[in-house]
Structure 1
Amino acid sequence: MTGAAEAELSRQQAVVGVDQLDPERCWAARPPERMLRVPIGFDGSGTPVTLDLNPSHHGGNGPHALLVGAAGSGKTELVRSLVLGLAVHHHPAQLELLLVDHLGGSFRGLERLPQVLGVVGQYPPHPARFDIDPSLFARLGRFLHWLADERLGWMGALGARSMEEYNQARKAAQQQPMRPMVIAVDHYDVLVSQSLEVRDALLRLAEQGEALGMHLLVSGERLDPGALGGLERSLSCRIVLGTPSPAESRMLLGTEDAYGLPPGAGLLTGPVGGTVLFQAPDQSGLVQPVADRVASWAPPRPRALWPPPLRPMPLAEVVGWLSIDPERGLSTDQWQPGRMSVPLGRLDHHVSGPDGELPRLELDLARGGGHLAVCGRRGSGTSTALLTLLTTLAVTHTPREAGFYCLDFDGGELAELDGLPHTATVSGPEDTGLVRRVLGDLTRIARARTELCRANGVNSPTGFRQLLEAGEQGPLPREIFLVIDNAPRLLHEHPGAEAALLELATRGSLVGVHLVFTTDRWAALPPQLVELVPTRLELRIDEPQSSLVEPRLAEQVPLDVPGRGVLLDPRPDGAAGVPRHFQLAAPVLPRTSTPAETCALIRQFGTGVSVPRLEPMPTMVRPEQLPPAPGSAFPIGVDESLAPVSLDPFGTAHMLIYGEPGSGRTNLLRLLMLGIAENCDPGAARIVLTDHRGGLADLPTKLGNHLAGFAPNPESLQPIVEDLCTAMSARLAAADTAAAEGTGQGWAGPEIFLIVDDYDHLSGPTHDPLLPLLPLLPEGGRIGLHVVLARSTAGAAKAHSGPILTAVRAAGATGVLLSGDPQEGPLFGPVAPSPLPPGRAVLVGPDGNSTLVQTACNTDAVWQPPLAEEDALR
């Protein structure tokens, strides 16, 4: 294991100046049998001791070697010297090096060596940290398998069984040469304890490496057979430095000779030459200067196969060069108009791209309906993911091509992009009306577009886009994105939202309406909704075993890196995707540092075209602002689309109005009665009013002949109810007789509207003055009896099951929910009270359909919050 050339080079490294190292001598051509030989020290007589990684049948001790040394034995210095020695003694055309140290310190400074394919590790290194990015291990395992598969593919194409046979045949076939490769792995014992994937890949290389020309140089502090995991069968060559105990020396060498060795001293043993004691020179101060000298002899490799690690990055890095286009505003020429694929970050891969970088993470919004779900625990970056998506869409699409309707039920971060020309609205939980309007408008748009496609025989998204281009698109953007941050909260606070989202997810895939939402847990969403959204970005989640992508990879997502996650990377042929790690970019562009600045930059260079703003419902509507309604109907307010809402009193059986003090329930009663008086003849409609708290005390004089009875207190209500029961019972008997004889209605007279305000203060568990009417309520439609009850939402859930309220509902009552406490729960179907501005109400018809209405304010006073129940002007 000695030689004159090696001796000369060893002494040259140790004695002469670094600047006197000569590439012509060091990199001179050498025969195959002298390849893969590197001096590691000197024996007792001063003769160089050389490590030879050639297999034993070529006179060496390879193809693989094991280096073991306890802390302080000089192991790291020696492994660095061995790598550097290989680089000094082999031209880049003769050798490739792959350096692996997941702790990130052993090979620092050697990455510029021209033989190095890559340095695998945590960079920048954190010697005091052991929370290594787990995705590194998965990528390393795939990379090592890929290196072996690549060489097997080259050999298979030429029918070769080894690197030597391939190199003999490749010139005639004009194929690239195959160079020997040395894979140096430091801290192997720690590495394989954390990754079975890497251990299995290294075991494969140990078994196939000789034929493939791939050699392992494995080092660690404690490499007993258990830690080696079967690799010891292939490591016939061993370098053992000082061991902490005689037992470990016996385990590695069969003797106790390595116990107590001084730093840098060691034993080299292998199938050829027996065991040699050597002393490695102290070259700690020479390694970096020599590495820099060797790096200057040749340019770096044109492409480093090992890609850089996933890391946070600005969106500017992946979106491409930005320019100002007079027709498109701030845009990038890398994404042509009409393209539905958008860049969002970097996708992890075990081989770098042509530019030496990781491939871009591009989401194809033409795939899977263009719907997207982002799942992640708090702090994982779910809101930022939405900001990045919207920013990218704003740069790659004009407001005519893409528009955003945002519902922010999380931390309010989406408000930073409210000024984008692409944004129609950003609304939150405090504006229930706008939330309902967004859901209602987009549902109507999706339905109208579906009918347009059906009428024109279009059944694909591409056909729909062509249909819009051929006709008049209108003011709406071609692609509409409903963006929901924290979808579970939206569904909890708006029970009717689930049906809307399911419809949009089903219809929208054809007609350019895209659903994008975040959640902290997949289980917090309806399973049917999750199934309709196949494109999923999964950031760090609390329970990786519940991952819908790949539980094993989800476990590897770091806890403290926002934007890091896993997804199924779809294949171009449409086959099942491959689970991969990704890193989302931060939503910042050149000259910006926050999403708000990014929004301002896009707006500054915009073309002046914007998506029509979706303004919130007004909080004040006057009756005189509303157009008249046909027939006996009269307007009571406007809906979410600002269209007038009318009420036909004769088409309404009964009505229940719930609202907290100050919500506008008494004002609504005033609207109803004045509407009846102004639109109906007294012979067609009469009103019986009970107002024991005085909120409607001025109405009797205004109603005139329409007022059939007025009860200003509970005592005066009883005889009115008795008279009403007598009259309505007579009507019922006449109606029954007429029905039996088939002679028509059977009775004559006006429709009677019994209107009761503050019903909760009038009735109780032991007494209800309306109970005599109970058997007549189901027949109200036949006998012209309409009961309108208004009460507070406080305690409504309990009172809702009372006999009068139950009978009124069963008879087909229209429900009106003004502002109230959501804790009361659903009162009409799935609709529960919620905090609303004064006069805002959810109108629920007998069929269960609901409409959000801003009722007209029929008073000169401005809405005021209540002071107390007794003094509130409702």
Structure 2
Amino acid sequence: GPGAHGRAATALPRTARLLDELELARATPASLMARWASAPDGTAVLGRGPHGPLQVDLTREGPHLLVEGPAGSGRTELLRSVAASLAASARPDRLWLLLVDGAGGERGEGLGPCTELPHAAGHLVASDPVRMRAFAQALGAELKRRAELPDPAAQRPRVVAPRTPEPEPADPARPLLPRLVVLVDDLDALVAPALGSPGRPAAGSVVRALEAVARDGERLGVHLVAATARPDRTAATEAARRARLRVLLDAPAPSPGPDDPAPGRGRLTHEDGRPATPFQSGRVTGRIPRTSTLRPTVVPLEWARMGDPPTRRPVRELGNGPTDLALLASALDRAARSVEADPVAPLAPDPTPR
């Protein structure tokens, strides 16, 4: 939490790298397994705050997080960083990620790069009505499955320890379900689809499923992390009403100078009214440092071959090597195999007839 480390406040950097804030500059399977063993499930590092890495705990401070910010403010990148950070906090058999791009892929890659994380249980691009309805049915079935557990309280994030704690006997009939985090970019585009949008007729079914997550998720171990560019359109939703954690991202400078912050500058607010904490979002889709700059290539040139087309340079020298997110996903995948975590099964609609 803000100021929890007792460090002196420092000025925020212009930009921040998520892996540095996670202390995973060299993301290896060993370092990730160590983090899984020590980090509480459901914790996400948002970026760099005045006192170091700024972290939120969805289980204790949530259950839900709402990100508000205009175009160009860095909403999508922050959601990607939250997904990556959550994956770094828990094994994929203890935490699942469900990804939703509400604008139907109109704004580029969206949350697509996060499907490389072994924790991803599905990705909806809200443009195909058939897939949208199937997604809503699958999410509804997952909530129903959790609600029908013999003891739903076992899934609640706020569990009060008994006065005389005793180890509970293992009950194979009641496995502890993984925590599920549903990340939604462009929630406003789902709530108020554009006229003529192919997904418009089915958007209501997706919104109703997300409203059920916002309403019932706390007792079922399900969290909602949603971003909106139009808070006026989403203010009346359950997601907005029940989000105890909020991030407000600043509009980018009209003509940013070298000293202006990169997109992702914002403030974290809590429902309890404590002062807002400024921070710079951690970037996770930047290129890893050793490939982040163009390097000059020197090759001998023979006079007789002056008219030949230039030789293609190796890809690694073009500055388009793997992103931090791809690097992290690969290490997470290897770590998951090392601990023999069961692969995440995609969410599926309820097979029982209605």
Common fold by TM > 0.5: yes
Note closer, same or farther for the CA distance 1:290–1:212 as it changes in structure 2 (3 Å cut): same
Q: Is 2:102 aligned against 1:109?
A: no
- Aligned with 2:208 (options 188, 200, 203): 200
Q: Which letter does structure 2 place at the counterpart of 1:186? A: D
- Cα drift, residue 279 of structure 1: 1.0
Note closer, same or farther for the CA distance 1:110–1:186 as it changes in structure 2 (3 Å cut): same
Q: 1:253-292, aligned counterparts within 5 Å?
A: 263-272=263-272, 273-285=274-286, 286-292=324-330
Note closer, same or farther for the CA distance 1:114–1:230 as it changes in structure 2 (3 Å cut): closer
Q: How far apart, in 2, do the equivalents of 1:115 and 1:192 lie?
A: 27
Q: Which letter does structure 2 place at the counterpart of 1:305? A: P
| Aligned pairs, number | 273
Note closer, same or farther for the CA distance 1:203–1:170 as it changes in structure 2 (3 Å cut): farther
1:43-64 deviations in whole A, cap 9, x for unaligned? Answer: 235x221122124xxxx2x110
Q: How far apart, in 1, do the equivalents of 2:41 and 2:22 lie?
A: 19
Q: How far apart, in 1, do the equivalents of 2:43 and 2:59 lie?
A: 8
* Structure 1 spans left out of the alignment, 5+ residues: 123-131, 246-259, 308-349, 354-568, 572-577, 579-874
- Aligned with 1:163 (options 150, 155, 169): 155
Paired residue secondary structure (2:115): coil
1:646 alignment partner in structure 2: none
1:713-766 deviations in whole A, cap 9, x for unaligned? Answer: xxxxxxxxxxxxxxxxxxxxxxxxxxxxxxxxxxxxxxxxxxxxxxxxxxxxxx
Q: How far apart, in 2, do the equivalents of 1:106 and 1:217 lie?
A: 14
Q: Is 2:47 aligned against 1:41?
A: yes
Note closer, same or farther for the CA distance 1:235–1:161 as it changes in structure 2 (3 Å cut): same
Paired residue secondary structure (1:231): helix
Q: 1:243-322, aligned counterparts within 5 Å?
A: 243=251, 263-272=263-272, 273-285=274-286, 286-299=324-337, 301-302=342-343, 304-306=345-347
- Cα drift, residue 77 of structure 1: 1.1
Paired residue secondary structure (2:56): strand
Paired residue secondary structure (1:215): strand
- Cα drift, residue 244 of structure 1: 7.8
2:122 alignment partner in structure 1: 118
TM-score normalised per structure 2: 0.67
2:301 alignment partner in structure 1: none
Between the two proteins, what is the percent identity of the paired residues? 27
Paired residue secondary structure (2:189): helix
Query: Is the CA contact 2:101–2:124 (under 8 Å) kept in the aligned structure 1?
Result: yes
Q: Which letter does structure 1 place at the counterpart of 2:37? A: A
Note closer, same or farther for the CA distance 1:111–1:244 as it changes in structure 2 (3 Å cut): closer
2:98 alignment partner in structure 1: 98
Kindly name which structure, 1 or 2, has the bigger radius of gyration based on alpha carbons.
1
- Cα drift, residue 211 of structure 1: 0.7
Q: How far apart, in 2, do the equivalents of 1:271 and 1:222 lie?
A: 20
Q: Which letter does structure 1 place at the counterpart of 2:56? A: L
Q: How far apart, in 1, do the equivalents of 2:343 and 2:169 lie?
A: 22
Q: How far apart, in 2, do the equivalents of 1:236 and 1:281 lie?
A: 21
1:686-736 deviations in whole A, cap 9, x for unaligned? Answer: xxxxxxxxxxxxxxxxxxxxxxxxxxxxxxxxxxxxxxxxxxxxxxxxxxx
Note closer, same or farther for the CA distance 1:153–1:25 as it changes in structure 2 (3 Å cut): same
Paired residue secondary structure (1:54): helix
Q: Which letter does structure 2 place at the counterpart of 1:304? A: A
Paired residue secondary structure (2:37): coil
Q: How far apart, in 2, do the equivalents of 1:69 and 1:23 lie?
A: 31
Q: Which letter does structure 1 place at the counterpart of 2:155? A: M
Paired residue secondary structure (2:335): coil
Note closer, same or farther for the CA distance 1:292–1:171 as it changes in structure 2 (3 Å cut): same
Q: Which letter does structure 2 place at the counterpart of 1:101? A: D
- Aligned with 1:133 (options 116, 128, 131): 128
Paired residue secondary structure (2:59): coil
1:235 alignment partner in structure 2: 243
Note closer, same or farther for the CA distance 1:171–1:274 as it changes in structure 2 (3 Å cut): farther
Note closer, same or farther for the CA distance 1:18–1:241 as it changes in structure 2 (3 Å cut): same
Q: 1:599-618, aligned counterparts within 5 Å?
A: none
1:224-269 deviations in whole A, cap 9, x for unaligned? Answer: 2556534321112111111489xxxxxxxxxxxxxx9751201100
Paired residue secondary structure (1:209): helix
Q: How far apart, in 2, do the equivalents of 1:170 and 1:100 lie?
A: 38
Note closer, same or farther for the CA distance 1:137–1:192 as it changes in structure 2 (3 Å cut): farther
2:308 alignment partner in structure 1: none
Note closer, same or farther for the CA distance 1:133–1:282 as it changes in structure 2 (3 Å cut): closer
Root-mean-square deviation (CA, aligned residues, Å) is 3.2
Q: How far apart, in 2, do the equivalents of 1:262 and 1:244 lie?
A: 8
Q: How far apart, in 2, do the equivalents of 1:119 and 1:275 lie?
A: 32
1:553-575 deviations in whole A, cap 9, x for unaligned? Answer: xxxxxxxxxxxxxxxx9x6xxxx
- Cα drift, residue 24 of structure 1: 2.8
- Cα drift, residue 113 of structure 1: 2.2
Q: Which letter does structure 2 place at the counterpart of 1:229? A: T
Q: Which letter does structure 2 place at the counterpart of 1:48? A: P
2:225 alignment partner in structure 1: 217
Q: How far apart, in 2, do the equivalents of 1:170 and 1:121 lie?
A: 42
Q: Is 2:85 aligned against 1:81?
A: no
Note closer, same or farther for the CA distance 1:149–1:296 as it changes in structure 2 (3 Å cut): same
Query: Is the CA contact 1:225–1:232 (under 8 Å) kept in the aligned structure 2?
Result: no
Note closer, same or farther for the CA distance 1:114–1:78 as it changes in structure 2 (3 Å cut): same
- Cα drift, residue 138 of structure 1: 1.5
1:1-52 deviations in whole A, cap 9, x for unaligned? Answer: 0566xxxx9636577334486123221145xxx432221112235x221122
Q: Which letter does structure 2 place at the counterpart of 1:52? A: D
Note closer, same or farther for the CA distance 1:48–1:303 as it changes in structure 2 (3 Å cut): closer
Q: Which letter does structure 1 place at the counterpart of 2:184? A: V
Q: How far apart, in 1, do the equivalents of 2:112 and 2:172 lie?
A: 39
Note closer, same or farther for the CA distance 1:279–1:226 as it changes in structure 2 (3 Å cut): closer
Q: How far apart, in 1, do the equivalents of 2:44 and 2:29 lie?
A: 19
- Cα drift, residue 192 of structure 1: 2.6
Q: How far apart, in 2, do the equivalents of 1:171 and 1:302 lie?
A: 22
Q: How far apart, in 2, do the equivalents of 1:94 and 1:147 lie?
A: 15
Q: How far apart, in 2, do the equivalents of 1:49 and 1:133 lie?
A: 37
Query: Is the CA contact 2:73–2:252 (under 8 Å) kept in the aligned structure 1?
Result: no
Q: Which letter does structure 1 place at the counterpart of 2:176? A: P
- Aligned with 1:146 (options 141, 148, 151): 141
- Cα drift, residue 169 of structure 1: 7.0
1:557 alignment partner in structure 2: none
Q: Is 2:188 aligned against 1:186?
A: no
Query: Is the CA contact 1:119–1:306 (under 8 Å) kept in the aligned structure 2?
Result: no
TM-score normalised per structure 1: 0.29
Paired residue secondary structure (1:175): coil
Query: Is the CA contact 1:40–1:280 (under 8 Å) kept in the aligned structure 2?
Result: yes
1:269-294 deviations in whole A, cap 9, x for unaligned? Answer: 01354310001243322222212221
Note closer, same or farther for the CA distance 1:301–1:184 as it changes in structure 2 (3 Å cut): farther
Q: How far apart, in 1, do the equivalents of 2:261 and 2:230 lie?
A: 16
Query: Is the CA contact 2:47–2:53 (under 8 Å) kept in the aligned structure 1?
Result: yes
1:533-568 deviations in whole A, cap 9, x for unaligned? Answer: xxxxxxxxxxxxxxxxxxxxxxxxxxxxxxxxxxxx
